[in-house]
Every structure is written in C-alpha cells, then in structure tokens.
Structure 1
Amino acid sequence: MAVPTVRLNSGHSMPQIGLGVWQASPDEAVPAVVWAIEAGYRHIDTAALYANEAQVGEAIRRSGVPRDQIFVTTKLWNSDQGYSQALAAFDASLKALGLDYVDLYLLHAPVVGKRADSWRALEKLHREGKARSIGVSNFGVHHLKEMESYATIPPAVNQIEITPYLQRHDIVEYCNAKGIVIQAYSPLTQGNKLSDPRLVAIADKHGKTTAQVLIRWGIEKGFVTLPKSVKRDRLIANKDVFDFALDARDLALLDQFEEGLVVGWDPTVWD
C-alpha cells in the first residue's frame, strides 16, 4: 500500500513514513535502504552526523527507483553551523549523497549564536533549488518564535522526538498554527516502552504489534514518522500501518501515556 503524503508549506509533498538511518553503520545502511525502497518506502532520513550519507545515496541508485520519486532528507550538524560553514557542509553532504539536490535540509539543532546565519544559508540553498524544502530539528517554541525575527522563508518542518510518552503539546500547537509539519523521530521510544501492558492491550485489540500502534498514533496525529530499523522484517512491518485505525477510545488512552520520557537528547530546551 502506498504511503500517504503531507503537503509542506514549500509546495512539495513528503511521504508520511520515512526510514530513519541514525546509528545504521555504513555496512547496514545500504541493504536497509534498498530493502525499504523495495518495500515501498519513498522517504529516507539521514544526516551528516550519521556518517552514512554516501551509503544512502548508493542504495538509492542501486534501487533503480527514479530519483524524483524518493524524498531525501539530510541535516546540518552543529559544528558546521554559521553562514559560510553551512554552505560548505551542504556541498559536502550533497557530494557524499551523490545527488543534485535534497528534498529537505534541516538545521540539526538550535545552536546558540549560529542559527540565524545558518538559516540564511539554508534560504540561499532553497532559492537555488539545491534544497527543495528547508526546516529545523529539535527546535522549541522559543526557538521557532525567534525565527520570526530573521527568517524570510518559514521552516517547512520541525523534526523532534515525539511519542505518546512525550507529546510536546506546546510545540505541536505552535507548529500546527504556523503550518510547520511535525516529523517524529524515535517514534518507537528506542524500544523502551514496547512492552508497556497498556500498549500491548491496544496492539492485541487490532492484531498489530506495539511498534505499529506507536507509528499509527503519529499518523493519526498528522505527524510524519521516522521509525528506524536495519532489519528487513521490521522495516516492512513498520510501514504496514495503513490497514487499521485507532479509535477514539484508543487515542484517549494513549493521550494518558504522557510522562515526559526523552530517550535521546533534548535541544528543544536549549537557550
């Protein structure tokens, strides 16, 4: 089944499920991305920090699927922020990927004193067509409000850690009001909550796995979700979430799971 897309404020569309390749080694990344594309994924999320951009690009070429049918995201790492540094880092990422453009380029985190200049560089890349959409990652509401003072192009996306256990209502409300799409990373809580009996009960009700319920929750909320796996059966299962829906009772129960669980880092609280 084809993955639905969401419309970005840049005018481009992004598949609602993507394969995240964080912590995928170079040896793991190529087969994982090839398997994902074979399974129908059309959205791959990498970053300079992940050190697997070259392998992502290789896998895309190996897949045989036309480039314009695959949505590719990469990110500007913190040590490369600043105007000229960002432009150079983007060129390095594009060369590693072996692509002519990326579909989405993100500031990986809100680096103090650098984000305005970095965003100016991203706007230049966008105007030149090298980054078809631009956005941010790990930005809190105060960072997003600050952007209004320097951004001439609004971010299309804010990629943050978000799950039923970390719902970030303030960021979601702000982004929804401003037309910024939320991308959810670590949507499976890095495995920390997959055995939660409450979650197991919902999964059993639908004949699905707890991972599939967590992914479906993000879909129901209108997020783009980025489950990561390098195992073929799991990445196929992670996409198999469009033949069921969570009902109002399920969603009400999941809304009660909030506990402020951060399983990664949390730059949304940085100055």
Structure 2
Amino acid sequence: MTNFDLDTRVKLNDGHEMPQMGLGVWQVDNHTAKASVQMAVKNGYRMIDTAKQYGNETGVGAGIKASLVDNGLHRDDLFVTTKVFNGDQGYQTTIAGVKGSLQRLQLDYVDLLLIHWPVDHKYKDTWRALEALQKEGLTKSIGISNFDIPRLQDLLTDATIKPAINQMEFNPIDQQKELRQFMQTHDIRLEAWSPLGGGAALNNAEILKLADKYGKSAAQIILRWDIQHDVITIPKSSHEKRIIENSQIGDFELSSEDMQIIDDLDQAKASLWYDDFPWHNPQSKMGDSVKVWPDSPEKI
C-alpha cells in the first residue's frame, strides 16, 4: 500500500524535501486566507501555497504567524510557496518583487519560489533572478509553473540550476501525460494545481462509482489517485470539514484497475491559456493583474 499522511514528504532534485499535500489559497481573500491557513496547520497541514497574483500574501503571512504561535511550531516546520508575478518578471524587478512578497508574508525566506507564468522574452532573466535568490538564501528551492514542453526545453538550455517543480493544472480531466513524461526524464516534480478538477471531475459518473465502492468522497478518490501517481497536490478549501476530509486518504489504496479507470478519463484539454494573456497576445481580453479583494490587508 502506498503510505500517506500529512507528514509524507517527497525529495526534490536539489536535495530538499517537501510535503506531498498542502493547502492552496487561490481565489481566497486575505481574511479567509488567514483563517484557512490557521485551520489547515491546526489539522496537520505543513505546506501552504500562495502567489502575489492571488492578492492574499498578507493574509497568508498573518495566518502563518498565528499558526506558529497557536501550535507551538517553528518556521522550519512549515513549507511555504509563493510565485513571481508576471508584472515583476525580469532580473532586477523579480528580485524586488520577491522581497516585497517576503515582507507581506512576514518571512525571511520561502521554501519554494516559482515563476508563475512563462512571460515572453522575460522568463530566462526571471530564472536567473531565482537562481540568485536561492544562492542568497531567500528561497530554498526554485521552480516554474505553467511551462509547457517547448518553454521548459527553452529554459533548460540556459539554466544553471534545474527547476525542482513545475506546477501545472493536473486532474482526472487534464492529465498532462506528454509533459509528465518529459519532466520525469529531467527529474522535475509535478505539483498539481486545481487537482480536484471542478465539477467535471467531482461529478464524473466513474469517479462517483469509485467513491461509493471505497466509501470515500469523490475528492478523496481524486486526491488518492494523485498520491499514487507520485504527484504533489494542493487542494484548496476554506471549510475546515473539507480541509480535514481532503487529508484523510491514507487508509485505503486504489487498485491498479481503478487507477486505470481514472487514467482513462483524460480529455487532454488545453489548460495553458498563453494566447489569453496580454504578455503573449496584446489583443487579449483576459486581465493579468494582482487580484483586488474587498478586505483591506492593513486590517489583517
């Protein structure tokens, strides 16, 4: 049986380890982010994933600070990830932007720093900045997010440090099979964003049958599938019951036949909307900015 609990860690190509499951906080305002982090850490989570673009680094930082005190933990007990905002990409602007993220998070360093998206003509300079930030000790590991094979190949031609992670959309409907195979040959770990796949996966008839078979929720079936594929996963929830439920996947294992049932659900749909961002297509209608929430970070 593939053993799993919230203390389960995976080794990265730089020698560092990270929890295999953590909490995602995309589309969560600062107040909710603070509360979600506190609930997650209280219930055993040790990894938190945020980004400048989410607009909630302040709330996440406040939640981390409170959680360390509330649970008698030290900073190095938690694994914290943030990401370089597209508007900050470039060498000097990335360094300045990351230092701003650290201030909002109230941290001296993050455990993992990712390039959020491969901004045209800038991501190589951004990567050089991440290499420098790692050497300076402001991040332990560095990686990327939303890089397809051509962009990842391009980055690798000049990188002196190989990305440890590529964080991609990964769920039963979108399984990134070709990219996963490419990453495996380069010893780059896959971390799944949107691991539950929304209604298309959670309401899928085959997954619901498996949920009934194993006496688990559809979300637990999907997250267990992630774990058995050796994928790092960061399900998002702001409800304590679901935060706890998401982690309760260590007491069963999907059979190889049932793993194949989910593998066969892949629709190979495109999740990398490069043409929808202004940094790639000036005519784009999709905005590319830091989210603005109704709650004021100054009140966190």
- Fold match, TM over 0.5? yes
* TM-score, length of structure 1 as denominator length: 0.96
2:94 is the counterpart of 1:86: yes
2: CA distance between counterparts of 1:207 and 1:244? 10
Matches within 5 A, 1:12-27: 12-27=16-31
* TM-score, length of structure 2 as denominator length: 0.87
- Asked whether the equivalents of residues 195 and 235 of structure 2 are also in contact (C-alpha less than 8 Å), the reply is yes
2:270 is the counterpart of 1:266: no
1: CA distance between counterparts of 2:275 and 2:235? 20
Matches within 5 A, 1:73-222: 73-222=81-230
Per the alignment, in what secondary structure is the counterpart of residue 62 of structure 1? helix
2: CA distance between counterparts of 1:174 and 1:269? 25
Larger radius of gyration: 2
1: CA distance between counterparts of 2:275 and 2:202? 25
Q: Offset of 1:256 from its aligned partner?
A: 0.9
1: CA distance between counterparts of 2:64 and 2:184? 32
1: CA distance between counterparts of 2:240 and 2:37? 10
Per the alignment, in what secondary structure is the counterpart of residue 44 of structure 1? strand
2:15 is the counterpart of 1:11: yes
Per the alignment, in what secondary structure is the counterpart of residue 192 of structure 2? strand
Letter in 1 for 2:100: A
2: CA distance between counterparts of 1:126 and 1:206? 43
* Aligned position for 2:58: 54
1: CA distance between counterparts of 2:90 and 2:116? 13
1: CA distance between counterparts of 2:106 and 2:100? 10
Letter in 1 for 2:34: V
Letter in 2 for 1:33: V
1:125-165: CA deviation from partner (whole Å, max 9, x where unpaired)? 00111110000000011111111221000000000001121
- Aligned identity (percent) is 42
Give structure 2 stretches of 5+ with no counterpart: 281-300
Give structure 1 stretches of 5+ with no counterpart: none
Q: How many residues align?
A: 270
1:8-50: CA deviation from partner (whole Å, max 9, x where unpaired)? 1121111000100001111111111000001110000000001
1: CA distance between counterparts of 2:170 and 2:273? 11
Q: Offset of 1:195 from its aligned partner?
A: 1.6
2: CA distance between counterparts of 1:206 and 1:193? 17
2: CA distance between counterparts of 1:154 and 1:101? 20
* Aligned position for 1:31: 35
Q: Offset of 1:2 from its aligned partner?
A: 3.5
* Aligned position for 2:67: 63
2: CA distance between counterparts of 1:227 and 1:66? 24
- Asked whether the equivalents of residues 139 and 267 of structure 1 are also in contact (C-alpha less than 8 Å), the reply is no
Give the direction of change, closer, same or farther, for the CA distance of 1:268–1:130 in structure 2 (3 Å limit): farther
Q: Offset of 1:243 from its aligned partner?
A: 1.1
Give the direction of change, closer, same or farther, for the CA distance of 1:141–1:268 in structure 2 (3 Å limit): farther
Q: Offset of 1:266 from its aligned partner?
A: 3.3
